[in-house]
Amino acid sequence: MGLNKKKICVITGSRAEYGQLLWVLKGLENDNEIDLQLVVTGMHLSHEFGYTCNEIINDGFKITRKVEVILSSDSPSAISKSMGLSMISFSDVFDSLKPDLCLVLGDRFEIFSAVSSAHVFGIPIAHIAGGEITSGVIDDGFRHSISKMSNLHFTANISYSNRLIKMGEDKSSVFTTGMPGLDSVFKTNLLTKEQFEKSINFKLSENTFLITYHPLSLGNNDEKHNFQQILKALENFKDSKFIFTFPNSDTYGRVIINLINEFVKNNSNNSIAFKSLGHLRYLSALKHVNLVLGNSSSGITEAPCFNTPTVNLGERQNGRLKAESIIDCDIVSLEIIKAIDVSLRRNTTSVINPYGKAGASDKIVDIIKKGDYIKNKIFAE
């Protein structure tokens, strides 16, 4: 390792977040002025959620550290304990690696814990996807807290940049780059329909839905009832096929996993479920399905790139910018049925994605290389 290389520590804890970071990681790894330190944590190390650290290894990356923090329960108490375990573990990581900068994306609790530890160590933070709002989940508080501890900000849209500046972040530290995850859409050789079907051993139909629903973590939500409403709506589309992906390790996520497994068992002729499709298969699914159903951010950010319509359920994505291909819908079976019918009839071939196009990853890597982030953080007056 060269003496003048910048040590950039990238932390990833979930499959979705890794997909967003993929081309940033490639850019950092291939730069001879940067020493990439890749720390893997959270759901990546859980067999229940697909042990997706194997996907990272298969993509050719060397994992610098593994930090196990996921507990066997998804109650608020267990997640709080997991956050505490994360802070303890990351203190050892930072004490050992001594990075010049930590790069993180998004708003999950394990990322908040890691950033909190880095902040105590005085390590500068670069944050991707700040300034956004998802008012239906606890992630909002984590995201904005991460932003307040960060020295560099890479946002998906000018409106998100403006929100960070209004929050007191110095405008010289805020860069509107677009979403780096969209680079995968335009740079990845996706599977053909036939290749995708073979990879999942499942034939698509004239109407195939990709379904991902994460539990809401704010308010008094009966997630069992909510997901039963979704499954009840699907009964109205007996000629369609359904591809489920498991939720994140959020509060009460296992309730949803159990309902998915039961539904697929009883409807094996037209439904299939995956802990994780993996990055390539998931993007290929977005291209080849006829509808995205649920409340995953991928239905908001990536699906419009393929002109694939999305029925966005509930409040999880409230506050996010949305393309015209997206219909918001309450989690009531009759309303879901109506929204699906409308979406399948709509023409979405000319949709404009507010999260930009390709190129964000290169911008982020270039700013990290040239940026003066080793300085005291200042706030706008």
Q: What is the per-residue pLDDT across 77-117, written as a single tens digit (0 to 9) for each?
A: 888 888 888 999 999 999 999 999 999 998 888 899 999 99
Report the candidate in 362, 369, 372 with the shortest Cα–Cα distance to residue 178: 362
Contact call for residues 244 and 265 (beta carbons, < 8 A): no
Are residues 225 and 100 both part of a single domain? no
Report the candidate in 233, 290, 227, 288 with the shortest Cα–Cα distance to residue 261: 227
* 3-state SS, residue 191: coil
Six-digit token string for 209 = 């839905």
pLDDT, average across residues 345-353: 91
Residue 62 lies inside a defined structural domain of this protein: yes
- β-pairing, 174-176 vs 291-294, is unpaired
Are residues 152 and 290 both part of a single domain? no
Burial 4-37 (b: 16+ CB within 10 A, else e): eebbbbbbbbbbbbbbbbbbbbbbbbebeebbbb
Residue 116 has a CB neighbour count (10 Å cut-off) of 18
Alpha-carbon span 103 to 153, nearest angstrom: 10
Res. 289: pLDDT tops 90: yes
Task: Provide the CATH number for the domain around residue 132.
Answer: 3.40.50.2000
Comparing 9-18, 48-57, 155-164, the range with the smallest average pLDDT is: 48-57
Residue 351 lies inside a defined structural domain of this protein: no
Residue 232, class by beta-carbon neighbours within 10 Å (0-12 exposed, 13-18 middle, 19+ buried)?
A: middle
Taking 3-state DSSP, the helix, strand and coil percentages for the chain, each rounded to the nearest 5, stand at 45, 15, 40
pLDDT, average across residues 257-276: 95
Res. 1: pLDDT tops 50: no
CA 374 to chain centre: 28
Are residues 131 and 202 both part of a single domain? no
- State the pLDDT at residue 327: 97
Sheet holding 241-245, edge to edge: 271-274, 241-245, 208-212, 291-294, 310-313, 326-329
Are residues 154 and 197 both part of a single domain? no
Q: What is the mean pLDDT of the chain?
A: 91
Are residues 165 and 100 both part of a single domain? yes
Task: Give the count of domains, the chain.
Answer: 2
- Using CA atoms of 126, 128, 130, 134 in order, give the dihedral in degrees to the nearest 10: -140
Are residues 122 and 11 both part of a single domain? yes
Res. 3: pLDDT tops 70: no
Alpha-carbon span 381 to 377, nearest angstrom: 13
For the chain, the maximum distance between any two Cα atoms, rounded to a whole number of angstroms, is: 63
- State the pLDDT at residue 220: 55
Residue 120 lies inside a defined structural domain of this protein: yes
Are residues 171 and 191 both part of a single domain? no
Burial 298-313 (b: 16+ CB within 10 A, else e): bbbbbbbbbebbbbbb
pLDDT, average across residues 143-161: 95
Residue 298 lies inside a defined structural domain of this protein: yes
Are residues 143 and 38 both part of a single domain? yes
- Phi, psi of 11, deg, nearest 5: -115, 130
Q: Which domain holds residue 126?
A: 6-180+359-370
Are residues 202 and 172 both part of a single domain? no
Helix H, strand E, coil C: the string for 290-308 is: CEEEECCCHHHHCHHHHCC
Are residues 172 and 110 both part of a single domain? yes
Residue 380 lies inside a defined structural domain of this protein: no
Confidence of residue 218 (pLDDT cuts 50, 70, 90): low
Q: What is the per-residue pLDDT across 181-216, written as a single tens digit (0 to 9) for each?
A: 999 999 999 999 999 999 999 999 999 999 999 987
Are residues 197 and 175 both part of a single domain? no
Contact call for residues 379 and 166 (beta carbons, < 8 A): no
Alpha-carbon span 32 to 44, nearest angstrom: 27
Alpha-carbon span 270 to 293, nearest angstrom: 16
Residue 121 has a CB neighbour count (10 Å cut-off) of 14
Residue 352 lies inside a defined structural domain of this protein: no
Q: What is the per-residue pLDDT across 131-148, written as a single tens digit (0 to 9) for each?
A: 998 766 777 889 999 999
- State the pLDDT at residue 253: 78
Residue 76 has a CB neighbour count (10 Å cut-off) of 12
Residue 139 lies inside a defined structural domain of this protein: yes
- State the pLDDT at residue 2: 46
- State the pLDDT at residue 254: 84
Confidence of residue 233 (pLDDT cuts 50, 70, 90): very high
Are residues 75 and 118 both part of a single domain? yes
Res. 71: pLDDT tops 70: no
Residue 201 lies inside a defined structural domain of this protein: yes
